[in-house]
Amino acid sequence: MVIDEILAHNEQFVQQKTLPIIGHAPRKHMAVVTCMDCRLVTMFEQALGLERGDVLELRTAGATISRPEREGAASDLIRSLAGGIYLLGVREVAVIGHTQCGLSHANPIALIASMQALGVDPDKLMQEEGVGDAQGLVNWLGAFNDVHVNVREVVNVIRNSPFLPKIPVHGLVIDIETGKLEMVDRG
């Protein structure tokens, strides 16, 4: 199993490395919201020039807030940003989507087939979440068609949340192949 490989590597890591003690508040007073895509691991921080302790990094599927959670802006992402702002000194937020995101153009038929193959009843989930149909289920996951539009919308949800203060919120898109950043909305 992969977990055994991780545990073995960790044993070697802790024997060979001594990590410096750093505070839990981000040195750059920034939170970065990005995607959970595995292609961003390591490349993302390198492309942005970030080191351990520089920023809070919040990852969601698609660097997004699903449509049902946008109403009222009380999602887990907003809660996490509130903790970063009020408890850790975050004073700036960057929402960074990426090209070729798996949530862009998500296929409802493939989603339902995958759920069924793994023993999950999509009809029960659609009923419990009140999403109506397969397209509603895709929207529940947070799927979108245009990463630029999605980034702008997430930026606006964060800016307009009644739970957060007015601080700069920027929107960017990173190219998954080159690491180049494109500014979509400067806060």
Give mean pLDDT, residues 93-110.
93
Exposed e or buried b for every residue in 118-151, given b needs 16+ CB within 10 A?
A: eeeebeeebeeeebeebeebbbbbbbbeebbebb
Give mean pLDDT, residues 119-136.
89
pLDDT for res 2: 94
State the chain's mean pLDDT as an integer: 92
Confidence of residue 132 (pLDDT cuts 50, 70, 90): confident
Report how far residue 155's alpha carbon sits from residue 185's, in angstroms, rounded to the nearest whole number: 8
Under the phi-then-psi rule, with left for phi > 0, alpha for psi from -120 to 50, and beta for the rest, what region is 104?
A: beta
Tokens standing for residue 187: 């806060």
φ and ψ at residue 59, rounded to 5 degrees: -120, 130
**Among 69-73, 78-82, 130-134, the range of highest mean pLDDT:** 78-82
pLDDT for res 48: 97
Task: Say what percent of the chain tops pLDDT 90.
Answer: 73
Q: Is the pLDDT of residue 90 over 80?
A: yes
Q: Is the pLDDT of residue 73 over 80?
A: no
CB-side exposure of 25: number of CA atoms within 13 Å?
Answer: 9
pLDDT for res 26: 97
pLDDT for res 43: 95
pLDDT for res 28: 97
Q: Is the CB of residue 171 less than 8 Å from the CB of residue 95?
A: yes
Q: Is the pLDDT of residue 25 over 90?
A: yes
For tokens 């960790």, the residue is: 10
